[in-house]
Structure 1
Amino acid sequence: MTRGGVTPKIALDTSSVRTRFERIKEFDPALARRVRRDMRQSGDEIIAEQRAILDGPLPRGVAVVGQRTKRTYNAKTKRIVKRRLNVYGDRDVKRPGRSRSNDEGGVGLREGIKKSLRTRVVITEKRTSIAVRTTNAKRTGATFWQAKRFRHPTFGHRDRMQYQAGMPYFWEPAFRGAEAAAARVDASIDEALAEISD
């Protein structure tokens, strides 16, 4: 699995999974549907853990507590330049748990993200994977909420921006659960093959 996008994939031995799944599907389509459900369930367990993190307390607030100077090399001008960077620190959140509803029918930010989490199972000749993903990540805020820190308008007022700590809910459960999910898929396929060989 890579961190290239907001879509961690469970690493499967794709040719083996596909070959065994096709044998099951050819012999018993209903059994193949059950195996596919088991594969989706392996991703849904990861999503359940992600949703539990989103149900937890809000992260602490972030405030700019100072600035530091950093020297960097500008390849375009071939010069070393000084840049002033913000230094951030934690701050207590005023009115924790208060959330401005987004445009999804009055659903709060974290609720919208939870609803957007999906498991996708693909078993084709070219590709075999189980992907845990978010839908409409930009609209629900799934991408920036996953960040370490982000900046947003205060209750929609763009002239009053503030920093907020993100909540890294997405990657850790996916990476931690991927090995168990791959093992579960293998076991499910093996059980199904044992059923058709009896």
Structure 2
Amino acid sequence: MTRGGVTPNIALDTSSVRTRFERIKEFSPALARRVRRDFRQSGDEIISEQRAILDGPLPRGVAVVGQRTRRTYNAKTKRIVKRRLNVYGDRDVKRPGRSRSNDEDGVGLREGIKKSLRTRVVITEKRTSIAVRTTNAKRTGATFWQAKRFRHPTFGHRDRMQYQAGMPYFWEPAFRGAEAAAARVDASIDEALAEISD
């Protein structure tokens, strides 16, 4: 997940979308507002799929089960070096995770991420994009929860770090639903243009 939790933009013919949207806006600002609202709903199917994943069972625990050696090329020294990397495995946790209140709003981690998912629409002269993203990813934990695994301090003690499995919820629905979302955007514009021509 990129910083801020932005997906690859939904593939659009940006010049065509912008030109057609400008025609709608010139004819009727109220109709243009309705079309923008439709744009914001174009990512609803992606978001609902992401939320369904977040509603699923919590992932199992993670433990370091061994190490492996990997040979890598060091560009600075121009030498091949060996690196020791951890090997991870699943494990059962003694106490399964609970939905805790992790912020002042009293919202659990996964609930906070679900509430932060949005479809962002930008239509300007320089840029036209529609993307599903998370808002305030650092506060909600959206970025680290997307990872396959992450480390966190045990009860706040930074000298004792624990591995935990994440729950990749973001990219698969985003890529799978991008084409349908783009088609929905085109359909919204075509419908509005048909209203103008009637």
Query: TM-score, normalised on structure 2?
Result: 0.90
Structure 2 equivalent of residue 178 of structure 1: 178
> In structure 2, do the counterparts of structure 1 residues 155 and 3 end up closer, same or farther at CA, with 3 Å as the change threshold?
closer
SS at match of 1:9: coil
CA shift at 1:82, angstroms?
2.4
Q: Deviations over 1:71-100 (max 9, x none)?
A: 333333333332221111111233334144
CA shift at 1:54, angstroms?
0.8
CA shift at 1:146, angstroms?
0.7
**Structure 2 stretches of 5 or more lacking a match?**
none
Percent pairwise identity: 97
Conserved 8 A contact 1:100-1:155:
no
CA shift at 1:110, angstroms?
1.1
SS at match of 1:77: coil
Cα separation, 2, equivalents of 1:115 and 1:169: 14
Structure 2 equivalent of residue 163 of structure 1: 163
Aligned CA RMSD, in angstroms, stands at: 2.2
Cα separation, 2, equivalents of 1:132 and 1:108: 21
CA shift at 1:70, angstroms?
2.0
CA shift at 1:51, angstroms?
1.3
CA shift at 1:125, angstroms?
1.0
Cα separation, 2, equivalents of 1:48 and 1:5: 16
CA shift at 1:174, angstroms?
0.9
SS at match of 1:159: strand
Conserved 8 A contact 2:69-2:85:
yes
Count residues in correspondence: 198
> In structure 2, do the counterparts of structure 1 residues 177 and 189 end up closer, same or farther at CA, with 3 Å as the change threshold?
same
Conserved 8 A contact 1:6-1:133:
yes
Conserved 8 A contact 1:2-1:8:
no
CA shift at 1:131, angstroms?
1.4
CA shift at 1:4, angstroms?
10
Query: TM-score, normalised on structure 1?
Result: 0.90
> In structure 2, do the counterparts of structure 1 residues 23 and 151 end up closer, same or farther at CA, with 3 Å as the change threshold?
same
SS at match of 2:85: strand
Cα separation, 1, equivalents of 2:178 and 2:117: 16
Conserved 8 A contact 1:99-1:109:
yes
Q: Deviations over 1:14-61 (max 9, x none)?
A: 111111111111112221111111111012332122111111111121
Query: Which has the higher mean CA deviation after the structures are superposed, 57-66 or 157-166?
Result: 157-166
